[in-house]
Amino acid sequence: MSTAPRVALVDGGGTNIGSVSYALERLGASTRLTDDPAEILAADRVVLPGVGAAGAGMARLRAAGLEDLLRQVQAPLLGVCLGMQLLFDRSAEDGGTPTLGLVPGEVVPIPPAPGVRVPHMGWNRLDDLVEDPLLTGITPGERAYFVHSYAAPVGPATLASTTHGTTFSAVVRSGLRWGAQFHPERSGRVGALLLRNFLLEVDR
């Protein structure tokens, strides 16, 4: 894209919005935090950040009138952390929460096990990478920063996995919808590359 891509940061109340916005602007993007449907639909890229629980996250989107709108987005869309989990059909969190249905599958709790701390918090390897424009320049074994208690099992949409007791999806894709379970804004080189690729490498 010859001009700075216009990025709509969906205002769903996530506490990581400011750091995601700063990370994108450092890469040359023009970002705007918004819950305005016209702005979201007109953007070159849409990012759905999120921190917290699935039930509360969906309630915020619903209250802002964004649940159905996000299903209409035609531009590349990236969900980050909880934002990735909300792209799936359903989350087991909060007794079972229907989510956006943009990526097939259900998000489940990370199972407790000896020596496995939940929430999963810290740096973990990215493994089993699938060739995709979002992962250009990222190699197997590089590390990213995670903070979460629920995860999407590895499935057809998985572009990269990580292991914390069990193996689960770290990056997913379905059509023009991508998700990163880790925090790219806190993941150094790997996170900056993933965000750069989302801005410049993926396309409609």
Catalytic residue of the set 81, 142, 148, 164: 81
Q: Which of 25, 131, 185, 201 is catalytic?
A: 185
Helical segments of 64-187, H only: 67-72, 82-86
Helix/strand/coil for 163: strand
Residue among 62, 42, 44, 46 nearest 54 (CA): 62
Instruction: Decide if 93 is catalytic.
Output: no
Residues contacting 180, CB < 8 A, separation 6+: 78, 79, 80, 81, 84, 144, 170, 171, 194
In the chain, the amino acid numbered 18 is G
> Closest Cα to residue 126, out of 78, 169, 156, 81?
169
- Nearest residue to 15 (alpha-carbon basis) of 57, 44, 45: 57
Please state whether beta strands 150-151 and 30-34 pair in parallel, antiparallel, or not at all (unpaired). unpaired
* 183 counts as catalytic: yes
Among this protein's residues, is 120 annotated catalytic? no
By annotation, the residues acting in catalysis are 81, 183, 185
